[in-house]
A and B are shown apart, each in its own frame.
Chain A
Amino acid sequence: MQDTLLEMRSITKTFPGVKALDNVSLKVRTGEIHAICGENGAGKSTLMKVLSGVYPAGSYEGEIHYDGTLAEFRDIADSESRGIIIIHQELALVPLLSIAENLFLGNENAKAGVIDWRDTNRRTEKLLRKVGLRDAPTTQVEKLGVGKQQLVEIAKALAKDVRLLILDEPTSALSESDSQALLDLMLELKAQGMTQIIISHKLNEVRRVADTVTVIRDGHSVSSFDASEGITEDRIVRDMVGRSMENRYPARTPQIGARIMRVADWSVYHPEHADRQVISNVSFDVRAGEVVGIAGLMGAGRTELAMSIFGQSWGRNITGTVEMHGAPVDTSTVSRAIDVGLAYVTEDRKSLGLILDDTVTRNITLANLGAVARGAVLNERAETQVAEKYRKDLGIRTPGVFQKVVNLSGGNQQKVVLSKWLFAGPEVLILDEPTRGIDVGAKYEIYGLINDLAAAGKGVVMISSEMPELLGMCDRIYVMNEGAFVGEMPASEASQERIMSLIVNE
């Protein structure tokens, strides 16, 4: 049964100015879960796009052997007809359509053009049960959380005749428990004989589900090993970055000074449902040189809290006060919030953080154009220098700062967003899931940058769903649940169990 389902041989793919894949090979056996690991920009997503026909035959070099024959896919429909289904890094559901409509989009269950809704809904229910969802088929996708949306994506794949399921970073936007549910589902599908490929930066997950791991570095496949040789995080990291990493979090001796920011009695209502209070009476403070964490489950209201403070970018009927250095300040618009020294790095880089069609340079300088202009006139030289500096400091992988960010890999896009806000020179930097979709090596670099900011006497607020990250980085942790703070503790007293028990007890 352990025969080869897929073999990609010496795949080479070039974009103008970039060799994304150089002689990469991949061998996937029938019925296994195969993990692909590698740093940001290593070429993982590109390899999967080659496989699924996003980049059609002829636009790359090398051969794909699938199910015993040479495959030359012209487009996605072509590869789908052979049972290869890819779920991309960015979700691709139509938010305003129902689950059922999404599942059968382009594949409608119709007779002579008329959709048979009864049958569609019945089949949808069956598929949803397979992925462990209990929502009605008529529920609008928009109303589901990201975790459930990810499961709907899988159900959609199951609606087609899937033999090889590819998941590109499926858990990067999911909470701990949603991730677990998804991994369980993967194992269950494997038990039913389905072959799967997963791309992930969460190595503990890889260890848990993968039968074989292939590591790609700089567009080359560097190693491939399976459970018999032992899949350990250390081994993966070593192959990914070319050296072993002793610590996941750089050391720092906190030097905590006076209070910089204080938020008091912050309450916010939902922008559409005016009577729904989303944040109630939250108070917290940030000191100079301090990294403050906000822990909580997805949907606890952490993003809403941050965005409502940052220029009232979310919610309405906002009440409460923000003080900087002891004096109340006005943060009612984003530019005022920036002026008093705040910055907010969004968790949703694609739709809220970046201008995708613009260059790296233009994205980095956008929040602080005054600093690269004389009067109203931009100084392109200064701009380029700034961009080059951040490219070096953060190790942004791009052929040049004049590359459009849409062409960067996910993790490198995140570094561009970070650069933008570092350049704005804030006193308090609010980071919302700052390491989402970022590889281990780059995470370490970003933690280092956070430490540097703290060492320079700035305050950092870190929102994260990855508890080890909060425990490893923060000096003090607030716990948030259902829109309110339910606990606060110094890092020395914090533990995953203690935080969870505070959340559950509420």
Chain B
Amino acid sequence: MSVAENSSERAGGSGRIGAYLAAHLREYGLLFALIAIMAFFQIVTGGTLLKPINLTNLLLQNSYIVIMALGMLIVIVAGHIDLSVGSVMGFIGALAAVMIVNWDMSIGVTMATCIVVGALIGGAQGYWIAYWKIPSFIVTLAGMLVFRGLSLWLLEGQSVGPFPREFQVIATGFVPDILPGGEVMKGLLDARNFNVLAFAMGIVAASWVVWSGLRQRAHNKAYGIEDEPRAFFVARTAIIAFALVFILYKLATFRGLPNVLLTMGVLTIVYAFITERTVLGRRIYALGGNEKAAKLSGIKTERLTFLAFVNMGILAAIAGLVFAARLNTATPKAGFALELDVIAAVFIGGASMSGGVGKIVGAVVGAFLMGVLNNGMSIMGIGIDYQQMIKGLVLLAAVIFDVYNKKKG
């Protein structure tokens, strides 16, 4: 190898773009697939997909999947899997319903209890996985059955509901518009409603995407890290920024910013930051990449594994609360087979089965990709049978694409 030669080669033109594209095909592919699928459904549903009301619904419908995908990504990056999340989510919903509806407990106490219980459940499973080295597949498969049973027992086989209004707003409420100017805009746009806060959030988010992208680019340049070709950077950033403004504009013309979108957004940012920028995050990737080497580098691998499952439990509990509030009742079947959607979202988002690879943003996009598929196919009136088949094939295709990409690279 000759480094000098290779840097002069780098200065050369089109081969470089090709090489960069090849190396990052997965990330572009995911973004492109999401756009293509949305465009497809937008057309075949005659524009229903991107109607403000449907967009709002889409976000609400997928919120609990996204929330759990955040935790699942960490579990999978750490080299494990959690099959129990659907059941745990259902169980927490049941617990919330019993506490609020049957026992008349306050919402605050109920929510705090539920989250603590979620953490305990995660901890109980994580304990066996981390310290006893029992395969996570087995432990959480057991957990899936146990908590499914526990929900049934707790609800005595019945549905429990409805919840008081104050609880429902967690999932179905909207952030009140605290910014002025709504009336003016309403008149200007001839819309039935205009929520300035939601629109402003869109602008802020888009600006942040542009700003942080530029900053990263400057940093890359300063350190000679391989750089995204300018055209790609501009196109990618423009698409994301535009999409953010567009979606929030649509929401603004309906009822504004859903509470769950805010929750989801904040959680996504927090977890993306933790995984990509902190010591803790780095250690989780190291653990999944090579557990023995990580351990010999002074990383407390057992504790980290344990915490990954505690975290998963907490997020499953939050998702459980959102889910129950959204349906306004807790049923013994709630969350059934949902773990598969969550796991699929993470793998579609580019995580690797063997651990050490995957990104929060990927998992979130993966979840929405599945969500758009679900939503679009439902609008088209495609039966649940075909929906399942198509989703299965999409998952397979995404993973095959990964493997193929890796082999070729």
Contact = CB atoms under 8 A, between A and B. Distances in A.
Q: Do A and B come from one complex?
A: yes
Given A355-B294, A355-B356, A218 B278 contact: no
Interface stretch (B50-58, B165-173, B279-287): B279-287
B290 A369 contact: no
B225 A402 contact: yes
Interface in B216-246: 219, 223-226
Interface string B1-18: 111011101100000000
B277 A366 contact: no
B279 A19 contact: no
Given A351-B293, A357-B357, A381 B23 contact: no
A81 interface: no
Nearest to A46: B1
Interface stretch (B120-128, B295-303, B334-342, B392-400): B295-303
Interface in B240-280: 277-280
A218 B277 CA distance: 36
Contacts of A355: 285-286, 289-290, 293-294, 356
Interface residues of A, number: 47
A245 B9 CA distance: 32
Given A344-B296, A373-B279, A19 B290 contact: no
Contacts of B295: 313, 334
A354 B279 contact: no
Given A313-B295, A357-B356, A377-B277, A397 B1 contact: yes
Contact of B225 (A22, A377, A400): A400
Contacts of B191: none
A335 interface: yes
B286 A358 contact: yes
Interface string A338-380: 1000001010000111111110001000110110010011101
A179 interface: no
Nearest to A353: B293
A354 B290 contact: yes
A191 B2 CA distance: 39
Given A351-B292, A369-B283, A19 B278 contact: no
A367 B279 CA distance: 11
B19 A352 contact: no
A278 B3 CA distance: 46
Contacts of B23: 16
B22 interface: yes
Contacts of A344: 296
B308 to A, nearest CB: 17
Contact of A219 (B1, B223, B226, B300): B1
Among the interface residues A334, A338, A398, which one has the most CB atoms of the partner chain B within 10 A? A334
A399 B16 CA distance: 14
Contacts of A346: 296
A337 to B, nearest CB: 8
A364 to B, nearest CB: 11
A483 interface: no
Interface in A165-218: 218
A397 B4 CA distance: 11
A224 interface: no
B2 to A, nearest CB: 5
A4 B19 CA distance: 38
B1 A18 contact: yes
Nearest to B225: A402
A22 B293 contact: no
Contacts of B19: 16-17
Q: Chain B interface: which size bin?
A: 35 or more
Nearest to A372: B279
Contacts of A16: 19, 22-23, 409
Contacts of A310: 296
Contacts of B290: 351, 354-356
Contacts of B279: 369-370, 373, 376-378
Given A218-B1, A357-B357, A334 B6 contact: no
B390 to A, nearest CB: 32
Contacts of B289: 355-358
Contacts of B225: 384, 400, 402
Contacts of A410: none
Interface string A457-498: 000000000000000000000000000000000000000000
Contacts of B356: 355, 357-358
B68 to A, nearest CB: 24
A126 to B, nearest CB: 38
B300 A335 contact: yes
A249 to B, nearest CB: 27
B2 A219 contact: yes
B215 to A, nearest CB: 11
Contacts of A18: 1, 6
Among the interface residues B289, B294, B298, which one has the most CB atoms of the partner chain A within 10 A? B298
Given A18-B1, A351-B293, A354-B293, A377 B278 contact: yes
Among the interface residues A310, A369, A370, A376, which one has the most CB atoms of the partner chain B within 10 A? A369
Given A362-B282, A400-B224, A334 B2 contact: no
A356 B289 CA distance: 8
Nearest to B22: A16
A20 B283 CA distance: 32
B53 to A, nearest CB: 40
A346 B7 CA distance: 33
B277 A378 contact: yes
Nearest to B7: A399
Given A18-B1, A18-B6, A22-B2, A352 B298 contact: no
A369 B3 contact: no
Contacts of A362: 282, 285-286
Given A355-B356, A369-B283, A378-B278, A19 B2 contact: yes
B298 A367 contact: yes
A41 B2 CA distance: 9
A221 to B, nearest CB: 14
A20 B293 CA distance: 28
A287 interface: no
A367 B295 CA distance: 10
A367 B213 CA distance: 29
Given A334-B298, A367-B298, A380-B219, A352 B1 contact: no
Contacts of B277: 377-378
A42 B300 CA distance: 37
Contacts of A317: none
A17 B282 CA distance: 26
Interface in A16-58: 16-20, 22, 41-43
20 contacts: A16-B19, A17-B6, A19-B2, A20-B1, A22-B5, A219-B1, A219-B2, A334-B298, A335-B300, A337-B298, A351-B293, A354-B293, A355-B286, A355-B294, A357-B289, A366-B294, A366-B297, A369-B279, A378-B278, A398-B3
Give 10 nearest A-B pairs by CB, closest first: A355-B289, A335-B298, A367-B297, A334-B298, A355-B290, A338-B298, A369-B279, A16-B19, A366-B297, A376-B278
Given A218-B2, A310-B296, A362-B282, 13 more contacts: A19-B1, A41-B1, A338-B298, A352-B296, A353-B296, A355-B293, A355-B356, A356-B290, A376-B280, A377-B279, A378-B278, A378-B282, A380-B219
Interface of A: 16-20, 22, 41-43, 218-219, 310-311, 313, 333-335, 337-338, 344, 346, 351-358, 362, 366-367, 369-370, 373, 376-378, 380-381, 384, 397-400, 402, 420
